[in-house]
């Protein structure tokens, strides 16, 4: 199978699976128990916390394990607003954020929170000037994603972090498509709250992280057993946490090798796909990750290509919204039309993709083009 949907989810690394297995079978003690058996699980969780924190340059104590980016985003947004309502009632975010952010913001609006949704230009980038203009006395939070899941566009995170810091505003960053792909450093980037999911970096589904800088106050979504300093109650999911930790360790260790592999495959893909008449590659090359290539192919019905081919796995928008027929909110915010969206393809690669697969992919695309 030619799998080009790695931005949707990735295959579990065999070393991750191996690390997890004992915690499903032999080492099943509850990590919150005081006995030695429970402590074995607890120690494994604490090792994972170190592995995760080293990848993003945080302290271990600032890592909260959740079920995934969606939960982390909900916890960060709702939890921060609830804890900080006395300071203000205004959030700034962007029209091209993932639905996990946008739908949570819409929910918060029904509770009286005011939200500014920044526009993006035709490269998918926000304007720092517009961000500065949107800041009000009652702005408590700026929420901007690191890398867009549909286009791979990288926002100017360092500059946003500085603006947030200078204005005393908390900066929340959805880094689900960035962690493990490009350098993410919460200190250097001035990020106060950061979210991501394990399954985007060869860890299992159902595990994620909220990094919360020590001085930031949030209210929990769940109440119960007091795990994760009371911020995420519920019995620890030891195997999945262990898997995420291992994946972070591997990603850090293999970073340069994987980056070079992906860059060369991506370069080859771009060269090949550009040979198709009229192809547009979305986003400016300087502000894009190499593992996500979003293209518009004139004359292609991307839905047909995606649904008919059993050997080829691709996406034409984010998987979470692919049930919705109308064009992607991300591409439309960049000024593209419904027709452009219907001709768009997201090709997301990882270290296992090969040049032969790329050739097959480009041939399959060419075969579906209808010349009018």
Ligand X SMILES: Cc1ncc(COP(=O)(O)O)c(C=O)c1O
320 or 339, CB closer to ligand X? 320
CB 145 within 8 A of CB 97: yes
330 or 362, CB closer to ligand X? 330
Pairing of strands 292-296, 280-281: antiparallel
SS3 of the chain: helix, strand, coil, percent, to 5: 40, 15, 40
- Within 10 Å of residue 18's Cβ, how many Cβ atoms? 12
Minimal distance, residue 315 CB to ligand X, in Å: 10
Footprint of ligand X on this chain (CB under 6 A)? 68-70, 98, 100, 145, 149, 174, 176-177, 197, 199, 318, 320
As annotated, the active-site residues are 320
Minimal distance, residue 331 CB to ligand X, in Å: 15
Q: Which residue has the tokens 């990590």?
A: 31
Q: Per residue, what are the HEC states of 53-82?
A: HHHHCCCHHHEEEECCHHHHHHHHHHHHHH
155 or 177, CB closer to ligand X? 177
Minimal distance, residue 55 CB to ligand X, in Å: 17
Token readout for 17 is: 């699976």
User: How many Cα atoms within 13 Å fall on the side-chain side of residue 50?
Assistant: 5
100 or 279, CB closer to ligand X? 100
207 or 365, CB closer to ligand X? 207
Minimal distance, residue 199 CB to ligand X, in Å: 6
Minimal distance, residue 365 CB to ligand X, in Å: 23
Pairing of strands 2-3, 63-66: unpaired
Cα(216)–Cα(192) distance, rounded to whole angstroms? 7
CB 153 within 8 A of CB 147: yes
């Amino acid at each position: 199978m030619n799998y080009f949907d790695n931005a949707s989810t990735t295959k579990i690394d065999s070393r991750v699976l191996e690390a997890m297995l004992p915690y499903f079978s032999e080492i099943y003690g509850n990590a919150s128990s005081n006995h030695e058996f429970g402590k074995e699980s607890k120690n494994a969780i604490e090792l994972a916390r170190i592995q995760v924190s080293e990848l993003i340059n945080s302290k271990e104590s600032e890592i909260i394990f959740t079920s995934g980016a969606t939960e982390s985003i909900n916890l960060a947004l709702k939890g921060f607003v609830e804890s900080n309502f006395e300071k203000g009632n205004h959030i700034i975010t962007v029209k091209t954020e993932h639905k996990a952010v946008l739908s949570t913001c819409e929910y918060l609006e029904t509770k009286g929170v005011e939200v500014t949704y920044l526009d993006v230009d035709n490269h998918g980038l926000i304007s720092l000037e517009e961000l500065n203009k949107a800041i009000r006395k009652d702005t408590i939070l700026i929420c901007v994603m690191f890398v867009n899941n549909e286009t791979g566009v990288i926002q100017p995170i360092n500059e946003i972090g500085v603006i947030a810091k200078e204005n005393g505003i908390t900066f929340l960053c959805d880094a689900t498509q960035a962690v493990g792909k490009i350098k993410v450093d919460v200190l250097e980037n001035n990020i106060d709250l950061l979210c991501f999911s394990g399954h985007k970096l060869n860890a299992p589904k159902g595990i994620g992280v909220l990094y919360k800088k020590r001085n930031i106050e949030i209210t929990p979504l769940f109440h119960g057993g007091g795990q994760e300093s009371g911020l995420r109650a519920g019995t620890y999911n030891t195997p999945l946490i262990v898997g995420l930790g291992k994946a972070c360790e591997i990603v850090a260790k293999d970073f340069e090798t994987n980056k070079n592999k992906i860059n060369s495959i991506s370069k080859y893909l771009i060269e090949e796909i550009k040979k198709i008449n009229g192809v547009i590659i979305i986003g400016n090359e300087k502000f894009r990750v190499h593992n996500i290539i979003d293209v518009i192919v004139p004359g292609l019905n991307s839905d047909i290509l995606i649904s008919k081919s059993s050997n080829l796995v691709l996406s034409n928008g984010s998987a979470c919204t692919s049930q919705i027929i109308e064009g992607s909110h991300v591409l439309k915010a960049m000024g593209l039309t419904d027709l452009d969206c219907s001709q768009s393809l997201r090709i997301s690669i990882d270290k296992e993709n090969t040049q032969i697969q790329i050739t097959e992919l480009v041939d399959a695309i060419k075969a579906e083009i209808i010349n009018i």
